[in-house]
Amino acid sequence: MLIAPGSKLLFIGDSITDCGRARPVAEGNEVGNGYVSLINALSGVLYPASGIRVFNMGVNGNTVRDLKARWRKDVLDQQPDWVVIFIGINDVWRQFDTPLRTEQHVLIDEYRRELENLVRQTMPHVQGLVLMTPYFLEPNQDDPMREAMDVYGQAVRELAAANNAILVDTQEAMDSLLEQMHPMSLAWDRVHPNQTGHMALALAFMRAVGARLGG
């Protein structure tokens, strides 16, 4: 696995990452009940001697603007070895569920610019950076919100390639489930997944960082 033994692995994002984590800083058994907790468990099972410390700094409802405002305190001041950024769902969603509140909308140019700024601030201080694309649990790629989410996901892919960051394509991971499952069997709102969806996210992350999953 690319993450060295003893590393401090920090996740930051929105509600998909938060999942009831402890405040102000969540580590180990306090990282909530979502994909971060599953990654913590998988790391312990697959690499029990690694001593990897997993931290969760997700906050419900966050967009890339919110990450920008708390980046120093919640990321850089924590001095992580690896940082995982999973942001973008609310940046898109607010354009659809609150279309008249345009001041809340993070359009693609701002999203790309601010995410790139966070990446460039962080890269000199860490051993590795992981970017996770946003997703929408909708198999119809012509659906307006799915179409928009794919644009934001493409921006993440391009930033990962340009900055030598590891990419986790969460939309691809979810699409593989949607080939056999209805979106509402994974998430009633097509965004907040059940444990099956969270496990798909966790496994996609572990594969991206080179974990040996067996089989």
Complete domains list, the chain, with CATH: 8-208 (3.40.50.1110)
Name the active-site residue from 7, 14, 15, 150: 15
Query: Residue 215's pLDDT is what?
Result: 54
Cα 112 to Cα 120: distance, rounded to the nearest angstrom: 12
State percent of the chain over pLDDT 90. 98
State percent of the chain over pLDDT 70. 100
| Known catalytic membership, residue 15 | yes
3-state secondary structure of 128: strand
Query: Which sign does the torsion angle of CA 24, 123, 61, 157 carry?
Result: negative
Q: Tell me the pTM.
A: 0.97
Name the active-site residue from 97, 176, 182, 189: 189
> What is 78-115 written as a DSSP string?
G--SEEEEE--HHHHHHHHHSTT-GGG---HHHHHHHH
pLDDT digits (tens, 9 = 90+) for 153-202: 999 999 999 999 999 999 999 999 999 999 999 999 999 999 999 999 99
Mean pLDDT to the nearest integer, 24-48: 97
pLDDT digits (tens, 9 = 90+) for 53-88: 999 999 999 999 999 999 999 999 999 999 999 999
| Known catalytic membership, residue 189 | yes
Query: Residue 133's pLDDT is what?
Result: 98
| Known catalytic membership, residue 198 | no
Name the active-site residue from 50, 81, 143, 192: 192
